[in-house]
């Protein structure tokens, strides 16, 4: 595994994101909605650096299946959400890859009456977007490699790494053989 972002760089990125979000929220209440499971580390670090009142909720989304690294069918579960009427919502996800997850979530949350829906991602992969949606806040632009750590997994593993690492295609191949996709 090759380290893409160190623990220190990640902490600086979170500080930078929290400062911009706090400045733009101007002390008004913010409803942070984290996307399970990958965003838990980002959410935990980010909310502790935000100024002003924060209401935290989680939704669940998945577009990856087992050992495949290509996006599969998107599944959303919004059943844990309270009424969002009139709220200023910030969706927080780990990574913007094709953007399909965030696009679907923004649409779904707008449909639940939120006054404003903005999105924040820690990472954005270069050259992968398949949607016109642009996240409002982006921590780091990274190359098109499959990354793990700081919440991100491969087949359920490596979420706990305190840094972000690129998974070597050979390491993926040793786990999944023929299921490796071209962008891995």
Q: Which active-site residues does the annotation give?
A: 97
Q: At closest approach, how far in Å is the CB of 21 from ligand IMP?
A: 19
**Partner in contact with 100, chosen from Mg ion, ligand IMP, none, beta carbon below 5 to 8 Å by kind:** ligand IMP
Q: What is the C-alpha separation between 41 and 76, in angstroms, rounded?
A: 20
Alpha-carbon dihedral sign for residues 11, 138, 147, 155: positive
**Partner in contact with 96, chosen from Mg ion, ligand IMP, none, beta carbon below 5 to 8 Å by kind:** ligand IMP
Looking at the Cβ atoms of 137 and 146, the one nearer to ligand IMP is 146
Residues 36-55 close enough to bind Mg ion by CB under 5 A: 38
For residue 34, state whether it binds Mg ion (rule: CB under 5 A): no
- Give backbone dihedrals phi and psi of 34, rounded to 5 degrees, phi first: -85, 150
- Give backbone dihedrals phi and psi of 43, rounded to 5 degrees, phi first: -60, -45
Residues 91-150 close enough to bind ligand IMP by CB under 6 A: 93-101, 146-148
Q: Enter the tokens of residue 159.
A: 């979420």
Looking at the Cβ atoms of 25 and 161, the one nearer to Mg ion is 161
Q: What is the C-alpha separation between 115 and 137, in angstroms, rounded?
A: 18
**Residue 37, preceding peptide bond in cis (omega within 30° of 0):** yes
Binding residues for ligand IMP, rule: CB under 6 A, are: 35, 38, 63-64, 71, 93-101, 146-148, 152
């Amino acid at each position: 595994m090759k380290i893409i972002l160190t623990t220190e760089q990640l902490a600086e990125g979170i500080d930078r994101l929290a400062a911009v979000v706090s400045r733009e929220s101007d002390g008004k209440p913010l409803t942070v909605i984290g996307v399970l499971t990958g965003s838990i580390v980002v959410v935990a670090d980010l909310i502790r650096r935000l100024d002003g009142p924060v209401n935290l909720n989680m939704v669940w989304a998945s577009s990856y299946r087992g050992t495949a690294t290509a996006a599969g069918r998107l599944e959303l579960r919004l059943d844990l959400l309270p009424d969002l009427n009139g709220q200023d919502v910030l969706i927080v996800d780990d990574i913007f890859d094709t953007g399909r997850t965030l696009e679907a979530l923004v649409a779904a949350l707008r449909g639940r009456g939120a006054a404003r829906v903005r999105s924040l991602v820690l990472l954005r992969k270069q050259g992968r977007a398949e949607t016109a949606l642009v996240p409002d806040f982006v921590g780091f632009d990274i190359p098109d490699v499959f990354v793990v750590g700081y919440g991100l997994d491969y087949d359920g593993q490596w979420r706990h790494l305190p840094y972000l690492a690129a998974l070597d295609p050979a390491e993926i191949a040793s786990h999944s053989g023929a299921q490796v996709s071209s962008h891995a």
